[in-house]
């Protein structure tokens, strides 16, 4: 299989997506909705490239298009740059304060004020809903349809099933989902409103609230594992690390003392 990317032959395996081949060979293709841990969905369309297979040439999304034969790919033509510029301008109207989009806009000379700002605090990539379903929270989902589609909780109410893992915060490509730990509760803020509240535990060691202790049984079962390592659910991570370090130090000195006594006995 012979793959030419931006005029150079690159290494590729049959079935790899264009994005995978590009990253393997150091070719930059911008993406917003692509995360290797999840199946590609091609929601943002920013990764669109020009693909020529035989006599046929077309535009395809690089994140989910698998290569199955000889092909020539162009990733940064004037037409592609113009397309990405318009996409960035449209997405920026939905998230005008996103630093990620501002960075892309600078790279593609996009005008962030071209379209009226309609601050949705969401670019509809769907990553938060997909990762929420994957970890077993089932809090966020794509609701409604057409121009009214949005990420929301069931009936727009606070969700009682949130585990407070913050996976949605970590995966959001434009960094607009956030968590706030206030008054012993973890609050997940999606599209500017609370999606859930999760009680935080109080550390028996230092007394601070930490959060939250996640029941991993359901997550591990979905991953094909049946056992979850035991952990101290009443101690915050900082105290847990200190306790572990203390136990390791004590074990080391105890072992050193035994070795010293044994050496003294032999003498």
10-residue mean pLDDT series, the chain (267 residues): 92 92 94 92 93 88 92 94 96 93 94 90 92 87 87 88 88 92 89 88 85 62 57 75 80 66 59
Task: State pTM to two decimals.
Answer: 0.77
The pLDDT of residue 215 is 60
The pLDDT of residue 219 is 58
The pLDDT of residue 170 is 92
* pLDDT, tens digit (0-9, with 9 covering 90-100), for 205-252: 888 888 766 665 665 566 565 554 555 667 887 887 888 788 778 776
Instruction: Report the C-alpha gap between 121 and 86 in whole angstroms.
Output: 18
* Mean pLDDT value across the chain: 86
Nearest C-alpha neighbor of 81 from the set 63, 108, 61, 104: 108
């Amino acid at each position: 299989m012979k793959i030419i990317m931006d005029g150079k032959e690159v290494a590729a395996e049959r079935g790899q997506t264009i994005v995978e081949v590009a990253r393997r060979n150091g070719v930059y293709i911008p993406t917003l909705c692509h995360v290797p841990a999840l199946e590609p969905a091609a929601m943002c369309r920013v990764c669109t490239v020009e693909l020529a297979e035989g006599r046929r040439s077309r535009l395809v999304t690089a994140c989910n298009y698998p290569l199955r034969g000889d092909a020539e790919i162009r990733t940064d033509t004037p037409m592609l740059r113009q397309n990405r510029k318009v996409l960035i301008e449209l997405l920026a109207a939905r998230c005008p304060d996103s630093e990620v989009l501002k960075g892309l806009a600078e790279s593609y000379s996009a005008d962030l004020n071209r379209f009226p700002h309609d601050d949705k605090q969401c670019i509809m990539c769907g990553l938060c809903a997909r990762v929420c379903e994957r970890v077993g929270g089932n809090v966020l989902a794509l609701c409604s349809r057409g121009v009214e589609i949005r990420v929301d909780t069931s009936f727009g109410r606070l969700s009682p099933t949130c585990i407070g893992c913050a996976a949605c915060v970590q995966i959001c490509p434009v960094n607009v989902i956030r968590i706030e730990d206030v008054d012993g509760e973890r609050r997940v803020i999606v599209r500017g409103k609370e999606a859930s509240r999760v009680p935080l535990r109080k550390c028996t060691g230092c007394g601070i609230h930490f959060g939250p202790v996640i029941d991993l049984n359901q997550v591990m079962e979905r991953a094909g594992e049946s056992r979850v390592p035991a952990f101290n659910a009443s101690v915050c991570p900082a105290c847990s690390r200190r306790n572990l370090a203390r136990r390791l130090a004590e074990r080391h000195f105890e072992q050193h003392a035994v070795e010293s006594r044994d050496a003294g006995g032999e003498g």
